[in-house]
Amino acid sequence: MASLLSHVLNGLSFGSLLFLVASGLTLTFGLMRALNLAHGAFFLLGGYVALDLLGRTDSYWLAMLGAVVVVGLLGVAFERFLVHRVLHRELAQVVLTIGAAFVIADQILAYWGGRPVMPPRPPGLGGSVTIGDLTFPWFRLSLIVIALVVFVSLWLLINRTRVGAMIRASVDDEEMARSVGIRVPVLFMAVFGAGSALAAFAGVWGGAFTGLEPGGEFSILLLALVVTVVGGLGSVTGAFVAGLGVGLVDEFGKSLFPSFALFTIYAPVALLLAIRPRGLLGRVER
């Protein structure tokens, strides 16, 4: 029983991490139809900047805030000067953002070196809790809470605020939105900045989970894409459900069939896409 509970909890916590990693990607894709393949690089950059700031300031939360702001601003500039030019051309977006990922990763290699680093966990979240037979790390439990908070905030922002309504209007009908006075380019810039900031936020939490190293940007991107695709492109609720679902499937898959560990994440994806190509909660493309 303790073992089953431990598996469920761990599946949920890894799933929460998956959602955090995918949330920024889902946001930019869902709200402005921009596919950002440099997402993993932003994640990595967030983790490294936070670690660097932690060394300078000795304050974990200040370092986290700094990383989120720096990478968020970088995202804004990236959108304004580059992504904006290829907004409705998917192939050009792919080439541009993949290229940016390589550039960022090489800068990280040059500046912080290629040795893997394991950033510390947030203060107060080290150690494990033991209840009877069950031992479970606090940090992993806290990930579930963090993911829930991020999900609820995003959902409220998009569905219950004026800004959310303006963004949705801009995606659905850009010309009409412009004609009623919504400054679409500014909104898109902000959305892209928010997506990048979320990537950095995930980089700080995820970095303490998986460690950071140049080259990790594409494994992170792959996980983010899996969740985004399963959830349905652009649906935040879908990404949340998909993150937790994929986390649980991966956990039980690896425990029960360790020899197929490489496929436990991808097999359900392939299966789902065969049955329901638009993902769990994706809208049908017009």
Partner 1 sequence: MTQTRRKLLAPLAGMALLLLTACDVDGEQDDDAVTIGLLNPLTGPFAALGEDVNDGFQLYLDEHDGRIAGRDIEVVVEDEANDASVAMEAAERMVEVEDVDAIVGFVNSGVAYGASTYIAEAGVPLIISVAGADDLTQRDAVGNIFRVSYTGSSDAMPGGTYACEELGYETASVVGLDYAFGWEGVGGFARAFEDAGCEVIQETYAPLDTADWAPFIQELDTDADLVWVLGAGPDAIRLVQAYRDFGVDVPLMTHGSAVDEEILEQQQADAEGIISTLHYSRELDTPENEAFVERFEGTYDRVVSRYAEAGWSSGLLLEEALDGLDAVDYDTLTAALADVAIDAPRGPISFDEYGQAVYNIYVREVQEVDGDYRNVVIDTIPEVSQFWTYDPDEYLDYPPYEELKDTWAGN
Name the minimum Å distance from CB 73 to partner 1.
27
Q: Is 213 in the site for partner 1 (CB under 8 A)?
A: yes
Name the minimum Å distance from CB 205 to partner 1.
13
Torsions phi, psi of 135, nearest 5? -115, 125
Q: Is 107 in the site for partner 1 (CB under 8 A)?
A: no
> Which of 131, 262, 274, 284 forms a contact with partner 1 (CB under 8 A)?
262
- What angle, rounded to 10 degrees, do the helices at 162-172 and 184-210 form? 110
The stretch among 26-34, 134-142, 168-176, 235-243 that binds partner 1 (CB under 8 A) is 134-142
**Residue 202 and residue 46 in contact, taking contact as beta carbons nearer than 8 Å:** yes
C-alpha to C-alpha distance for 49 and 91, rounded to whole angstroms: 30
What is the token pair recorded at 174?
């850009």
- What angle, rounded to 10 degrees, do the helices at 216-231 and 184-210 form? 120
Q: Is 192 in the site for partner 1 (CB under 8 A)?
A: no
Q: Is 250 in the site for partner 1 (CB under 8 A)?
A: yes
Q: Which amino acid is at 48?
A: Y
Q: Is 99 in the site for partner 1 (CB under 8 A)?
A: no
Q: What is the DSSP letter of 161?
A: S
- Closer by beta carbon to partner 1, 181 or else 258: 258
**Residue 147 and residue 157 in contact, taking contact as beta carbons nearer than 8 Å:** no
Q: Is 161 in the site for partner 1 (CB under 8 A)?
A: no
> Which of 58, 175, 259, 275 forms a contact with partner 1 (CB under 8 A)?
259
Cβ burial of 125 (10 Å; 0-12, 13-18, 19+) is: middle
- Closer by beta carbon to partner 1, 42 or else 139: 139
**Residue 254 and residue 264 in contact, taking contact as beta carbons nearer than 8 Å:** yes
> Which of 84, 94, 136, 166 forms a contact with partner 1 (CB under 8 A)?
136
Name the minimum Å distance from CB 220 to partner 1.
9
Q: Is 39 in the site for partner 1 (CB under 8 A)?
A: no
β-pair type (128-131, 134-137): antiparallel
C-alpha to C-alpha distance for 262 and 114, rounded to whole angstroms: 25
- Closer by beta carbon to partner 1, 24 or else 207: 207
Q: Is 210 in the site for partner 1 (CB under 8 A)?
A: yes
Cβ burial of 113 (10 Å; 0-12, 13-18, 19+) is: exposed
C-alpha to C-alpha distance for 181 and 185, rounded to whole angstroms: 12
Q: Is 88 in the site for partner 1 (CB under 8 A)?
A: no
Q: Is 149 in the site for partner 1 (CB under 8 A)?
A: no
Give the binding site for partner 1 (CB under 8 A): 3, 6-7, 10, 14, 17, 106, 109, 113-118, 128, 130, 135-137, 139-140, 209-211, 213-216, 219, 223, 250-255, 258-259, 261-262
